[in-house]
Amino acid sequence: MSVFSTARLKMVDGQVRTSDVTDRRVLDAMLTVPREAFVPASRQALAYLDLDLDVSEGGAKRFLIKPQLTGKLLQAAEIGEDDDVLVVGCATGYLAALTARLARKVIATECDSGLAAKANDAFAALGLANVACKAAACTEGDAAAGPYDVIVLNGATEVTPAGLLGQLKEGGRLVGVSAESRPPRAMIVTHTHGEFGHRALFDAAAPVLPGLERAAAFVF
């Protein structure tokens, strides 16, 4: 077993399972998809640590969110084999690659065009034909490919992402971290009969996605 394979197993057993992630499909995806393939070579030794991993290469900071939070969000999303999913702010694509193991089709967006290209290269190298990344602002999503059964945020939002919620199918759900108030919490938003219901899942923290920050308050 390679060093990375051993680290991947330890990540799942020590960080993900211990965080009450019991969904076998989610666990199998996290045991299969190599997180190091989505990390710059200089930081691959950090790929399986319990941290929000910086994968940016100049410009705005971009992250892969913590493995335990990744697993818990995917479990909460209850992604089915026939679902169409949007992953927002995917950075280099790790969360989108995991989602591709669970869903029928995945569209990912990333505001950094260079990272979006790296995500697509990684998907191709892993033979993931049902996922693609588009360079787009986190607020935009991809309405042309929607609507979606599930939308997953690879990070937090400090505002209500109205533009993304409008891309949910009837019966669809959005999962991510809401930092609109303190403490920040993982949330699920469901779209039912034209209305949106919000439910807190658990306390969680993640880097705020670009464009989903709270407007700066005026201070006299």
pLDDT of residue 214: 86
Q: How far apart are CA 99 and CA 126, in angstroms?
A: 14
DSSP 157-186: ESS--HHHHTTEEEEEEEEEEE-SSSS-EE
**Angle, helices 24-32/67-77, rounded to nearest 10 degrees:** 140
Q: Which residue has the tokens 């965080």?
A: 19
Q: Average pLDDT, stretch 109-113? A: 96
pTM: 0.95
Could you tell me what percent of the chain has a pLDDT over 90? Answer: 92
pLDDT tens-place string over residues 8-59: 999 999 999 999 999 999 999 999 999 999 999 999 999 999 999 999 987 7
Return the CATH fold of 3-203.
Answer: Rossmann fold (3.40.50)
pLDDT at 217 over 60: no
The residue type found at 19 is S
Structural domain boundaries in the chain: 3-203
* Residue 16 in tokens: 């993900």
